[in-house]
A = this chain, B = another copy of it.
Amino acid sequence: MPDYQAPLRDIRFVMNELLDYPSHYARLPGGEDASDDIVSAILEEGARFANEVLTPLNQSGDREGCTFEGGEVKVPSGFKEAYQQYVEGGWPSLAAAPEHGGQGLPPSLAMVLSEMVASANLSWGMYPGLSHGAMDALKHHGSETLKNTYLTKLVEGRWTGTMCLTEPHCGTDLGLIKTRAVPLDETDDNGGYAISGTKIFISAGEHDLSENIVHLVLAKLPDAPEGSRGISLFVVPKFLPDASGEAGERNGVSCGSIEHKMGIHGNSTCVMNFDSATGYLVGPPHKGLVCMFTMMNAARLGVGIQGVALAQASFQNALAYARDRLQMRALSGAKAPEKAADPIIVHPDVRRMLLTQKSIAEGGRMLVMYAAQLNDIVESFEDGEEKTRADTVLGLLTPIVKAFLTETGFEATNHGVQVFGGHGFIQEWGMEQFVRDARITLLYEGTTGIQALDLLGRKVLMSQGESLKVFTKEIHKFCQASEGSEFAGPLSELNREWGELTMTVGMSAMQDREAVGAASVDYLMYAGYVTLGYLWARAAATASAALAAGEGDATFYQAKLDTARFYFQRILPRTQGHAAMIRAGGETLMAPTVEGFGSGFEL
């Protein structure tokens, strides 16, 4: 069975040494509660919960899966008890506002915990994870009545949430949704609606973990404008609250079936049927997409974290195996002559795979925690220059976090299988589960292709490149400040090229709108590699300073510096392929005819 130890040393490095979270928390309204001691205690307790409670249920949950019978979903053995412990530990309320029963700690703290949870047990972690999206939507857009009725229960963890967007004929293209919301007659004095339609791919849509399930549902009102401007957001509970606010009468929403999937077997993926189910409007009519993006942006960061989490979990197990497994001698001569063969970690190609995993997991963690800091500011600062800047950079980084960290996270889990050789393919070792679980992260909450269009089209080009400049200027300043370091030169060159590539695509897009889609995924990957390069250069500077000062654990700092060097020499060159593909333009993509594609087997 695979093992997991929360990477507390690395988390502390990122939070305390690299990104100065103590000062950051001190500046946040209410952030004084997040003192060093409190943060440290929470991280350690979270690590214990992940390591001891969730890890042992990961493989069994995958094997057992969810079962569906008579409209009810049963989660795998042990999941319910773990959820009970989670609620009793007060984890759901960590970052919620005190007025809704929360502990008022910064959202970033919940994010770092969610990495540990996802490393230990992705399927389990999705149940509370979905609640966070529902909480965000209600917090920002719900009426006081809705907050008091639903948000407080979600914060408590006694009720869980979902996001109901996708329908059989539409996922990306939500303008096509068919679910309808009709105002209830005047006898309903709560302003309710009757919601009817079918939603698919609803994660945690039905299960036996909580007393009630609160669905956030996209639907169209009778007078809705066509397309995506005519979508409204509703809250639809599984059980309607009774007079005391507890789960009461069954509502007209039910689970029709659950999907059989490649991975995340422990999480129920449901077809949800709404049959004149009572729902309540969240936010203004026809403004559902805006409200949904409140959930969606947080969810996208959350999925990026899952990519990091699985890279980390796979890395740790691959490392343990590589130290243990004896096979062949090092080409430069025996390293463990007393043994039958050398441990495979002596072989350069095994090291290449392990360092790729390490640089993705640790680099991804830096990016997540960098974005989490911006998110804290956006969530809790008053309007002003700093909040505007944070919002701009966070908007730019969100699709990168989501897509780049899941693409590279998936790659990392595959390296984990490869380090194990044939054993990696065997379920017992658990390495292939990381791959199967990771595969969904490239798809849900918007595929890589959708994230790439968001980044290049919406965030970069629609602002005429201004939002990008805010970020590249920061990189530029760092390079200037560390001029002469081994990282500043190459990073500065890539940063310059990033701007140039943006110009190139922008110019093409003026003549041909398809140029954006043709370049978008390569552009996103390019952006991701450079962004991680910036953070690895900063990490190297921090580690070098600590080594020079002779402070702390030299093994850790030296490994950090070594990994930064590996990243610069053996990962960053991937940008050159992407740059060439961006420059190549879209002609070769658009030229082939639809008939031509299939001519090899259809003729």
Contact = CB atoms under 8 A, between A and B. Distances in A.
Interface of A: 5-10, 13, 166, 169-173, 176, 201, 259-263, 312, 316, 319, 323, 326-328, 330-333, 340-341, 345, 347-352, 354-355, 358, 362, 414, 417-418, 421-422, 424-428, 432, 435-436, 439-440, 442-444, 447-449, 452-453, 512-514, 516-518, 520-521, 553, 555-556, 558-559, 562-563, 565-566, 569-570, 573-577, 580-581, 584, 586-603
A349 B513 contact: no
Contact of A599 (B169, B341, B555): B555
A559 B601 contact: no
Given A176-B326, A348-B514, 4 more contacts: A9-B603, A176-B327, A316-B601, A555-B595
A596 B319 contact: no
**Ranked 3 nearest A-B pairs via Cβ:** A559-B596, A10-B600, A573-B580
Contacts of A559: 592-593, 595-597, 599-600
Contact of A566 (B350, B354, B563, B588): B588
A337 to B, nearest CB: 14
Given A442-B418, A553-B599, A592-B559, A426 B514 contact: no
A113 to B, nearest CB: 16
Contacts of A590: 348, 351
B435 A447 contact: no
Contacts of A421: 171-172, 443, 447
Contact of A556 (B316, B425, B599): B599
A260 B573 contact: no
Contacts of A563: 592
Contacts of A319: 597-598
Task: Output the residue of A514, A563, A598 with the most chain B CB within 10 A.
Answer: A598
Contacts of A589: 348, 351-352, 355, 566, 570
Contact of A417 (B439, B562, B577): B439
Contacts of A596: 555-556, 558-559, 562
A22 to B, nearest CB: 20
A427 B172 contact: no
Contacts of A513: 331-333
A370 B549 CA distance: 60
Contacts of A427: 259-262
Task: Output the residue of A171, A340, A449, A565 with the most chain B CB within 10 A.
Answer: A449
B447 A418 contact: yes
A139 to B, nearest CB: 27
Contacts of A440: 425
Given A176-B340, A598-B316, A262 B425 contact: yes
B570 A449 contact: no
Contacts of A330: 514
A5 B558 contact: no
Contact of A262 (B350, B436, B565, B574): B436
A173 B586 contact: no
B518 A349 contact: yes
Contacts of A452: 349
A318 to B, nearest CB: 10
Given A558-B593, A565-B591, A331 B7 contact: no
Task: Output the residue of A362, A425, A427, A575 with the most chain B CB within 10 A.
Answer: A425
Task: Output the residue of A352, A414, A426 with the most chain B CB within 10 A.
Answer: A352
A452 B580 CA distance: 26
A573 B584 contact: yes
A349 B587 CA distance: 12
Given A352-B518, A580-B576, A592-B355, A439 B426 contact: no
A603 B553 contact: yes
Given A418-B443, A565-B588, A566-B588, A169 B326 contact: yes
A58 B5 CA distance: 39
A527 to B, nearest CB: 15
A358 to B, nearest CB: 7
A259 B427 CA distance: 8
A442 B414 CA distance: 10
A595 B603 CA distance: 59
A348 B518 CA distance: 5
A319 B600 CA distance: 12
B331 A602 contact: no
Contact of A584 (B418, B555, B569, B575): B569
A435 B439 contact: yes
Contacts of A170: 327
A238 B312 CA distance: 45
Contacts of A439: 414, 417, 425, 432, 435
Contacts of A603: 9, 553, 555-556
A443 B428 contact: no
Nearest to A515: B348
Task: Output the residue of A13, A263, A350, A601 with the most chain B CB within 10 A.
Answer: A601
Nearest to A567: B588
Contacts of A260: 426-428
A44 B520 CA distance: 41
Contact of A418 (B432, B448, B558, B598): B448
